[in-house]
Amino acid sequence: MSEQDIANIITIEPGKRCGKPCIRGMKITVYEVLEYLASGMSYQEILDDFPYLTQEDIWDGLSFY
């Protein structure tokens, strides 16, 4: 995936979540998703807990990081 494609998925807005990188303009940050993965959650568990996310969102967050 190109940097431009990732830029369409990962958004940074000064007034949202203190300017932290978010996924598709939502209030969930890239770092929160990474913390879930680091704590041992599987992709499917994250998707079950956050049904508005897609597996591509998770992959793009990992690519961004």
pLDDT tens-digit profile of 19-40?
A: 899 999 899 999 999 999 999 9
Task: Quote the domain boundaries for residue 21.
Answer: 3-64
Say whether pTM exceeds 0.75. yes
Around Cβ 42, how many Cβ atoms within 10 Å?
A: 10
- Number of domains within the chain: 1
Looking at the DSSP bridge assignments, the partners of residue 11 are 22
What's residue 64's pLDDT? Answer: 85
Beta strand 10-11 with 22-23 is: antiparallel
**Rounded CA separation 31/65 (Å):** 8
CATH number for the domain harbouring residue 48: 1.10.10.10
pLDDT higher than 80, residue 17: yes
Confidence class for position 15, pLDDT limits 50, 70, 90: confident
- In this prediction, residue 7 has a pLDDT band, given cuts at 50, 70 and 90, of low
DSSP letter string, 2-23 = -HHHHHHHEE--TTSGGG--EE
